[in-house]
Structure formats: C-alpha cells, structure tokens
Structure 1
Amino acid sequence: MQKPDADYRPARFSSNAFPERERVSAWRDFFGPTMFGADVEPVGEQPYRQDIVVRPLPGVCLLSATNTPVRFTRSRAMLADGRGDYGLHINSGRSMVRQRGRDVLCGPGEPILVTSAEAASMTSPEASHFLCLHIDRSLLLMNVADPDGCVLQRVPGDSVTLRYLLGYIRFLESTDLTAVDTQIAASVGRHLADLLSLLFGATGDTATLAQRGGLRAARMLAIKRTINESLSEQALGVEHVAVRHGISVRSVQRMFEREGVTFTEYVLNRRLDRAFRMLRDPAHAGMYVIDIALACGFGDLSYFNGCFRRKFGEPPGCFRR
C-alpha cells in the first residue's frame, strides 16, 4: 500500500495525459505496478482509458477508477514487492475475480475481498467505475479472527454495514481533505477499518469498539444526509429519521447530543443556512422571502424571520442581492 502524503491530498492520474500510442505501455510500466501492484491489460479493441483518484489515509487507502474494459493481473513474480494488504473491490459492472484457483463472478456493485499477498486477477469486460479500499494487513488481523478466511467472501447486498461503508466512501469522494490534520485523518482511517472489520466478522469487544467508532460515524453521516435531502419537508422530524435508519428515536437524539446539539437545533440551523444561501444566490432573485422559507421547510413566515434574525443579526430581506 502506498504511504499517505502528509496533507492527505487526493492524487489524480489520467491515461489521457499520454499520447494514445504510448498510453498502454505507460500504464503497464508504471501506473499498474505502482497503483495496483498488478499488470494492466486492456480488454477488447476500443482505445484504452483510465482515470484514477487515490485517497491515502493512515492504515487505509481508497482508490477509485473509471476505465474501459480491463484486466488486472498480480502474478507470482509481483509478490516480491512485499505487499500484503487486503482490498475490498467493488465494480459498477460485472467482473471476474480469480484467486486461490477459484473464479468468482461478481455482479454490478457486489463487493469482494482479495489479498495482495497472493497471485490474483480481475477482469472487467465492460466500461465501469471501480472502487478498491485497501487496508493494512495488521489492522484487519487486529480486529478479525481469520481475515484470510474472508478472502473471496461475498458480502450480502442488503448488509447494513455495507450500506454505511459505501455512504462513508461517497462522503470521502466528495470531500476536500487537503487541510485535514493528522488526527482527523487517523480518525477517518480508523472508521473505515472499523467498518471493514464489522463487514468481515469482528466480534466481542472488537465489534463493540468498531460499532462505537466507524459504524457510529458512518451512521451519523447517513442521518445528516437524510436530513439535508429532506429539509424542504415541513414534516421532517426525529421519528421520520429514526424509522428511515431502523433505530430508535432516543438513539438518534443521543447521537446529536454527543455533538453538543439537539436534533431540532441541527435541523433548524441547516434550514437557516440553506435559506441564507438561497437569499444570496442570484439564481433565486425572483423568489419572494416567503417562497424561500417554504422551500427550506418553514411553515410560518414570522417564525422564520425571527429565527433568521437571531442567527444572522439581520432580517432575511437585508441579504438579498
């Protein structure tokens, strides 16, 4: 696994940076061995293309790629590079994974765990978006009794832990980690390691710690996403969110209390922030203040005006452009 940069900035690479006639050789000579620890071989006749984003974090590394049909092969000779990490592979299209003499056909979005300590290959016969979450071998060994026994194991598509893991990954893909300090980066890395550990059988105290760490953080992100997507709904309440995520009302309330805010306060602040942005956005210049209030989930204009003034110091009309 690549060591993370000090500032954890995503590294971006594109095959389009090379002339088409040099593209495949450049990828096979450098990017394949460096990024994947594997040979890269185009499949089919169409011009090869691949765009890669690498997001390094302490103990884990998230790699996402968009590519034309391709085959990755990690030969026995390549094992000399000493890589021994595990990788959770998720392909938006079909893929065939071969390791330990077994062929496993993965459907679109179906995750599978492989190990870079052994020879393997993965073939994607169609253009697809590919995710790989690498985790240091030592981290998984600390949390899962037999990680080698999980290699090539299928993960049920309805797994709650998988849903939260994918949500956490989507958050990372949309977040600029340039200014993240070492402590926060380490926390994010632990959260991802926790979720992978739960996905592959962490039990006892290890599972409890992982649930309090990575699973709790991922669930909170998912709950906040639900809130942000539902701000325009006046009926949005803690009961709605609890049912949506399959947990109790009190559990949702406690999650926000740990952050020093109530559920109601969080929703109110998000609605006011959205209203502020809309008032300042020329694209909404034709909307009346009452229309913006309604669009942000407020059913009472006087209540909206009072809350807005308390938060921003002036009535909404003062912020129109």
Structure 2
Amino acid sequence: MSAVPNDQPFRFSTRSLTPAERLPAWYEVFCRSASRRFCSVADEACHADMQIWSFGPGDSSNASATQVRIQRTTLTHAIETHRTRELLTDGCDDLVLTIQEASESSVTQCGREVMANAGAGVLTSNADVSAMSFGGSSKFVSVAVSRKIIMALAPGAEDAIAKPTHLDSAVLPLLVSYLGILEDQSAVQSPEVAQAVSLHIHDLCALAIGASRDAAELAGGRGLRVARLRMLKDDIARHLRHGPVTAADLARRHRVTPRYVHKLFETEGMSLSQFVRAKRLALVHRSLSNPNLADRTIGALAFEAGYGDLSTFNHDFRRHYGMTPSALRAAVIAAGKGKA
C-alpha cells in the first residue's frame, strides 16, 4: 500500500455545494479514498454522501504494518468513475473490494466487464485502469487493502479481479457488518488495536477472495472469529431488552451452531450467559445513575433490561457492583441534591 497519511475519519457531502463546485471537491475527496478516481455525472442534481476512514499505519515498507482504507458512499443519481493512466502515477497498487449494498454497478477492468447487483462484491486493482458505472441512486462500501498481504493470503487474487462469481457470498455480509460496527472509532483507541483491526479486515477480504488452505485456517481463527464475535455482541445488544438471549437464537440468526457461539465467547474467557448478564447489569446501572429516571421503579428498569426475576437481579447486581440497586439510586439522588 502506498504511503499515505493515516487520516482522521471524516464525512463529505455535496449537498451544500453548487454544481460547479461538486466535481473539483469530489476529486479532492477521491484522493483520500479507497481509489483515486475521476468522476463524471449526467445529471447536475446528483449528490453524494461519503464517509472515509482508515485503520493501521500506512507504512508499505513494513509487512506487519498494513493499512486499510474504507469508503462508504451513497449516491442520488447515476455517475461514472475512472481510474485513468494519468492517475496510475500515484504508485498505489492496492486491491479494492467494493460491495453493492443497494442498486447495481458495472465494472470494466483488465478486458472484463461485469455487473454487480445488491449484495454482490467486485474486486478491482488500483494498479490498472478501470471504469465503474452506477446506474442510479445507489449505496456501496469499498475497502482498499494491501496487494502484497492479500496475494500472500490468497495467491489467486488477480484471477478474481472483475469477477464477482469468484467471491464468497457468505463472507461479504460478515465483512459489511464488521465495517459497520467499526464506523464508531471510539472502540479503536490505540495503534495496536487499529493494527489488529486492519489485519482482521485483510483476513476477511482474503477469505472472500479465496484464501489458501493455510491462510484460511489462520484467518478463520483470527479475522473471521473476531468479526463473528463482534456481530454476536452487537446482536445481543439489540435484543437485550427482548427477554432471554440464547445460543440457539443467536445460532439461528447467524447460521452457525450453538456450540460455535459458546466457543467464541470462551475464547475471551467468559461464557455467553456471563456476557449477557454483564450487559444487562450495565444497562440497569446506567439507568439508575440517570437522575432523569428517578421516578422509574428499580423493578421496572430491571425488567426492561431483560431480567425476568427481581430476586435474581438483586443478587446479580449486589455481587457485580458490591452494593444494592437501591443504595446506588440513593447515592445518585444524594449527589444531585448536593449539587443543587
């Protein structure tokens, strides 16, 4: 990957720009995105909203320091983008995996022309000229990854360029979900974590492209495991208030076995039930610490967090926090009066 600044995540929109200002501004943004490209629009009413962020240092001389650059784009009208011979002089040879989340696109590269429908992915190369056409309002995410790393993990990657049928359709949704969770960079608070995230994304891209047997085994125990675990935790957070959260329910929604769900949590030194209980307790703790909810009964807050039995909740809370729920609420109320 070419050495580029590890930019802070940023958002870009053309909605406040005049038609004459949009393309120049858009080009500047593309210089920081997954693939530096020229673009053209057929309708001046076209607008684009983009989010661009990256993980890992952009030092291409260090094989262990790999950067990924992610670009999420929403378009209101049809556009065409081109990576021209002129732009190839930037020296960037990244591989870019683009996944259509809505509508469709066509890609021309290396003498191939393909269509990608919603849910499909297309692999392109920044080392070669290419054209991408989006036929109307659309939404897609692009991930630029190190060619060197991907070729080591998936030696047949170049054969998958502009060939959607060569990509593993089961891995693409995992990758999209993992990227969605990572949009909140508050979870990535150190260079070490950012580097690990970068490696996980490379793992998932390699699995989607077609990793070698050894690399697939490595990625399955690293990037794939982390991605699935993050998705399960996100699923649990969404269903926490809906009652029991079981391995069987999670397994059915994510198309894995209940035993695999349990094993994923065991890799972090906890059981599924311990994780769910800690999340429920944290939810009630936040509610009890909120003076605006002082009129709500403790039992109501516990039941809303998914507890079905008040005595079990009181026991768990006292054991976890070293105080009773009523003691915490009294302390919060007392602190509020002291500030008044």
The within-5 A match list for 1:28-107 is 28=27, 30-35=28-33, 36-57=35-56, 58-69=66-77, 70-91=79-100, 92-107=102-117
Partners of 1:13 and 1:56 in 2: CA distance: 19
Kindly provide the CA deviation profile for residues 136-177 of structure 1, in whole angstroms up to 9, marking residues without a partner as x. 110111011211100112259983322221111111113336
Question: Are positions 1:274 and 2:320 aligned together?
Answer: no
Q: CA deviation at 1:254?
A: 2.6
Q: What are the superposed Cα offsets for residues 29-54 of structure 1, whole Å, 9 maximum, x if unpaired?
A: x3334533210212323154443323
1:22–1:9 distance in 2 versus 1, CA, 3 Å:
closer
Report the Cα distance in structure 2 between the residues aligned to 1:138 and 1:162, rounded to whole angstroms: 21
Equivalent residue number for residue 205 of structure 1:
214
Q: CA deviation at 1:206?
A: 1.1
SS where residue 186 of structure 2 aligns?
Answer: coil
Whole-Å separation in 1 of the counterparts to 2:12 and 2:257: 44
1:86 Cα shift? Answer: 0.8
User: Cα gap change, 1:224/1:82 in structure 2, threshold over 3 Å: closer, same or farther?
Assistant: same
Deviations 1:279-304 (A, max 9, x none): 33456444322222112221111111
* Structure 2 Cα separation of the partners of residues 160 and 192 of structure 1: 15
Query: Are 2:146 and 1:139 equivalent residues in the alignment?
Result: no
Q: Deviations over 1:93-151 (max 9, x none)?
A: 22221223333222223211111111111112323333110111101110112111001
Q: Name the CA shift for 1:89/1:259 in 2 (closer, same or farther; >3 Å).
A: same
Secondary structure, in 3 states, of the residue corresponding to 1:307? helix
1:238 matched to 2:250? The reply is no
For the structure 1 residues 299 and 143, does the alpha-carbon distance in structure 2 shift closer, same or farther, using more than 3 Å as the test?
same
- SS of residue paired to 1:26: helix
Aligned twin of 1:129: 139
Amino acid at match of 1:11: F
Deviation of 1:252 (Å): 2.5
Mapped contact 1:32–1:40 kept (Cα < 8 A)? no
> TM-score w.r.t. structure 2 length?
0.84
Which of 109, 114, 117 is equivalent to 2:127?
A: 117
Q: How many residues align?
A: 318
Q: Describe the SS at the equivalent of 1:272.
A: helix
| 3-state DSSP of counterpart to 1:9 | coil
Percent identity of paired positions between Structure 1 and Structure 2: 29
- Cα distance, 1:317–1:43 mapped onto 2, change above 3 Å: farther
Whether the aligned pair in 2 keeps the contact of 1:60 and 1:189 (CA below 8 Å) is yes
Contact 1:238-1:252 at 8 Å conserved across structures: yes
Q: Letter of the aligned partner of 1:9 in structure 2? A: Q
Moved more, 305-314 or 13-22: 13-22
Contact 2:99–2:120 at 8 Å: present in 1 too? yes
Read off the aligned partner of 2:169 and give its amino acid letter: S
Residue 170 of structure 2, aligned match among 160, 166, 169: 160
- Secondary structure of 2:240's counterpart equals coil
Amino acid of the structure 1 residue aligned with 2:69: C
Provide the rounded CA distance (Å) in 2 between the counterparts of 1:272 and 1:155: 46
Distance 1:282 1:159, change over 3 A: farther
Cα distance in 2 for partners of 1:222, 1:34 equals: 28
Residues of 2 paired with 1:4 and 1:216: CA distance?
29
Which amino acid is 2:111 matched to?
Answer: G
Amino acid at match of 1:186: Q
Contact (CA 8 Å) 1:85, 1:117: kept in 2 or not?
Answer: yes
Specify every segment of 5 or more residues in structure 1 that has no aligned partner in the other structure, as ranges.
none
Q: How far, CA to CA, are the matches of 1:253 and 1:48 in structure 2?
A: 45
- Partner secondary structure for residue 114 of structure 1: strand
TM-score, normalised to structure 1, is 0.88
Between the aligned partners of 1:203 and 1:217, the Cα distance in structure 2 is 19
